[in-house]
A and B are shown apart, each in its own frame.
Chain A
C-alpha cells in the first residue's frame, strides 16, 4: 500500500466518522417532535383482524379504535368510538351510539355502516381474533350513528371483547373496498392502514422501523409527539445501551428486573399493574406427576415468595386465586406452603426422579431465573431436574405428544380481556389453547359453560368454583402477578397503560417535560 493510498483510506475513514457523527446528532432524541420506542421483534401484520400477538399491540391501538375500550390503569369499560351503549334485558341486543364528527385517516366520515363493514370483515377474514364475534346473529344500522348487534345467545364477555386490544376495530371501508383484492384487503393491510386513532401508519419498513405520524384531524385530544418511530431492536442489551445514550425514549417490554437497581439518574422506572400471570403447568399424563400425592408434594416445594422476590426484584407479587385478581373478586389465598419434609416424601414416592422443566424463551431472562430457583428446590426434594428453554409454538404441540412433553412448564400468560371467561376458557377448559398438558375436569368445563350466559349474579360464583377445582387438582400452579415495567427517559411524561393491554403504552398522551 503506497502512502497515497493509505492517506486516501484514512481520509475516507475520517469522513465516515465525521459523517456518522453529524447523522446521529440529527436523529438524536430529546426532540418534542419524535418519540422512539423499540420492539424486540417485527409484529406479524398491522391488520387488526389478523394480528393476535403482543409485540405490535401499540401499532394497532394507536392507529385503530374499537367501539369500547378500558380506562387507563383500570378494568373499567368506557366508550371509545361508541359515545354510549345499551344492553337489552335479555342480553341479546347491544345498541351503540357512535361519536359524531369522527373521520378516518383517509378523511372519510365514520358511520354505522363503516362499523358494520368492519365487523363483517372480521368474520370474513376469519383469523384468530374472529372468535370474539362468533356469537353475533345479525347487525343493523338504523341510522348513521347507531349500530345494533344481536347475539345468538347471551355472551357475558361481549363488552369485554369490544374493549379488548384484539377486539374488533373499525377500519376505513373505502380503503378496504379499494384494496380488497381476493382476500378482503389483507394484502394491502400488511403495510398500510386506515383507522380513526391518534396516529396514522405512514411507513412500515419490516425489520427496520415503523413510522406513526400524528393524526391532526383526530376527533379527541390530539397527540403531543408529531412522529413515533418504532425501531426493531432485537437485543435487549442494545436497547438498554441506546436508552442510556438517549437513542430511545422508553423500553416497555422485557427490561431485565435485575438491572433496574443500577439505572442512571437520567432514566426512571414505572411499575404498572397488569393481568400477566406466571403459571407452572404440570404434566399429569405421565409419571411422576400422574400421582396426586407427588403433585401435592410438588406444591410443598414451591416457595412463591422467594421466586417473586429473587427473580422479579419487585416487579411481581404473589398470586391470589386462580384468576388474575382484577378479573374476579373474592378469590381465596393459594394453599402453597413450603414444607421440605412433605416435598422430600413426595420425591421419595415419585416413580421417576428425572424430570424436565421447560420455560418459554423471554428476552429478560426472568423465566429462566424462576426455572433455576425451582430446579434447586426440586433437587432438595430428590428430583433430578433438566431445564429446557422452548419457543411458544413448541408448547402448542405438547397436547399431541403428552408422553414426550416436559413434566413441568413455566409460562407467563395474559387474558384477552378483563373478564374471567377470557382467562378460564383458554387456560382451564379441557380444549383451551393455553391448556398445554390437557388438564380436563368436567366440573370445570360445565361451570365455565354455565358462566358464559348465566345471570350476572351467578357468574363470579361459577368462576370461583372452577378456579377452586383447578387449584385443588395441583395441575396448574399460580405463582405470581407480573407487573408491566416501563423504563423511560426522565423527562417523558403522561405515561398511560391498561392492565389488559400488556407491554403497551398509549403514545398520544406522552410528552416531554415542559413541551
Chain B
C-alpha cells in the first residue's frame, strides 16, 4: 500500500507541474494587456509601461516563467488584479462555498447513483425504461438542468430559492469552517441552517445529476455481472434474502468500477461547478474564476485553476487508495 501511495504522490506532483506550465503558456499566448486594464483608458503609455514593469509583464518570457514557477512553488500566488487581495486570501474566501457544494453534490450523486443502480438491478420493465432515461439524462447539459430546475422549483412552484447560498437578510456565522451548514449548527442558528440547506438543494442536484447517472450505469452493469457469480448463487442456495445478498455481497464486489467512475466524474463535477455557480449565483471558486477571466486577472485564474486541479488530482488519488483498500489485488499494481 505504501508503494502505491508513493507512486500516486509522485504522479500527483507531476500532474500539478504540468498544470502550472499549461496555465502559464495560456496566459502568455493570450493577446491581453492586464496592465492597461488596471490603469485605465486615460493612462499615458508611460503609466501603462510602469504598471507592466511593476507586474513583471515586461520581462522576457523565460524569466517570467522562472519567477512564476518560483512563486507558485513557494505558495505565493500574487495579488488579484481585480480585487487587489492576495489570491490565496481570495481562494480562502471562495473555496468553502465550492467545497460545500461539491461535497453535497458528491453525496447526492453517490446516493442517487446507488439508488438507481439498485433499481436497475431489480430488473423488469421499469428497469428497462429507467435505462433509457439514464442514457438520455446523461446527455443533458448541466446548465439546462439548472435552468429547468430554477423554472420549476423557484419560478413555477416557489419551493426553492434560485440564487445565493443563504437568504439575503441573514448575517452569516463567523466561521469556523466557512461551510455554512456546519457553521450554522455550531452557532446554533436554525434559520441560517435551513436557509442554507434550501439554497443548496438545486445547485447540488444540478451538479450531481450527470455523475449520478454515470455511477448508476457503471454500478448497475457491474452488479449484474456480480450477481451471476458462483458465490452469489451459493448465498441464494443457502437461503439468504435477495436484498441481503445485494447489499452484503453484490455492492461491495461491484464497487470498484463505480468508484473509478466516481473519481472521473468528480473532475466533470468540478468543471460543472463553474457553470452551476454562475447560474445559481453561488459565491464559490467557479464564480470567482468566471469574474477573473472577464478581467484577464491572470494571478486569480492561475490560483483557481491550480486549486481546482489539485482537488481533482487529490480526489482521484483518494479513489485509488479506496480501491486498493477494497480490492487487495490492486495494491500490487
Contacts and interface: CB of A to CB of B under 8 A. Distances in A.
A405 B31 contact: yes
Contacts of B42: 128, 131, 416, 425-426, 433
A235 B164 CA distance: 12
B197 A45 contact: no
A425 B36 CA distance: 15
A404 B94 contact: no
A209 B168 contact: yes
A386 interface: no
A207 interface: yes
B84 A44 contact: yes
A231 B163 contact: yes
Interface in A433-458: 433-434
Nearest to A208: B283
Contacts of A247: 162-163
A237 B147 CA distance: 9
Contact of B293 (A23, A34, A391): A391
Interface stretch (B60-68, B228-236, B284-292): B284-292
Interface residues of A, number: 62
Contact of A207 (B44, B94, B160): B94
Contacts of A34: 169
B296 A27 contact: no
B43 interface: yes
Given A19-B197, A23-B191, A190-B85, A397 B41 contact: no
Nearest to A241: B155
Given A207-B94, A207-B283, A232-B281, A128 B197 contact: no
A398 interface: yes
B302 to A, nearest CB: 15
B150 A238 contact: yes
A431 B44 contact: yes
B172 to A, nearest CB: 7
Interface string A117-144: 0000000000111010000000000000
Contact of A433 (B40, B170, B191, B194): B40
A152 interface: no
A238 to B, nearest CB: 5
B242 interface: no
Given A232-B281, A397-B32, A397-B33, A27 B169 contact: yes
A36 B168 contact: yes
B154 A241 contact: yes
B331 interface: no
B30 A26 contact: no
Interface in B92-139: 93-94, 97
A41 interface: yes
A229 B171 CA distance: 12
Interface string A387-429: 0000111101111110011000000000010000000011000
B287 A207 contact: yes
A237 B149 CA distance: 13
Given A426-B42, A433-B42, A44 B198 contact: no
A235 B161 CA distance: 15
Nearest to A19: B194
A490 interface: no
A396 B36 contact: yes
A509 interface: no
B55 interface: no
Nearest to A132: B42
Contacts of A42: 82-83, 291
Contacts of B37: 392-393, 396
Interface string A273-291: 0000000000000000000
B165 A16 contact: no
Contacts of B5: none
Contacts of B85: 190
B41 to A, nearest CB: 3
B299 interface: no
Contacts of A235: 278-279, 281
B251 to A, nearest CB: 13
Q: What is the interface of chain A mostly: helix, strand, loop, or mixed?
A: mixed
A434 B43 CA distance: 10
Given A17-B160, A238-B279, A397-B32, A23 B41 contact: no
Contacts of A513: none
Nearest to A391: B294
A468 B185 CA distance: 67
A396 B32 contact: yes
Contacts of A426: 41-42
A137 B135 CA distance: 72
B31 A41 contact: no
Nearest to B82: A44
Interface in A25-45: 26-27, 34, 36, 41-42, 44-45
B38 interface: yes
Interface string B244-266: 00000000000000000000000
A206 interface: yes
A52 B38 CA distance: 8
B36 A50 contact: no
A186 interface: yes
A12 to B, nearest CB: 9
Given A207-B94, A393-B36, A394-B32, A50 B291 contact: no
Contacts of A405: 31
A229 B291 contact: no
Contact of A23 (B94, B165, B167, B201): B167
A131 B45 CA distance: 13
Contacts of A345: none
A128 B38 contact: yes
A207 B172 CA distance: 13
B168 A45 contact: no
Contacts of A432: 41
A330 interface: no
A394 B279 contact: no
Interface string A355-395: 00000010000000000000000000000000000011110
B158 interface: yes
B151 A241 contact: yes
A24 interface: yes
Nearest to B190: A19
B84 A24 contact: no
Contact of A231 (B159, B168, B295): B168
Nearest to A248: B163
7 contacts: A20-B159, A20-B161, A231-B164, A234-B290, A235-B281, A391-B293, A431-B44
Q: Which 4 A-B pairs have the closest CB atoms?
A: A20-B198, A433-B41, A19-B194, A128-B40
Interface of A: 15-17, 19-21, 23-24, 26-27, 34, 36, 41-42, 44-45, 50, 52, 127-129, 131, 186, 190, 205-209, 229, 231-235, 237-238, 241-242, 244-245, 247, 361, 391-394, 396-401, 404-405, 416, 425-426, 431-434
Given A391-B32, A392-B294, A397-B30, 14 more contacts: A17-B160, A20-B194, A20-B197, A129-B40, A190-B83, A207-B288, A231-B163, A234-B287, A234-B290, A391-B296, A394-B32, A394-B296, A416-B42, A433-B36
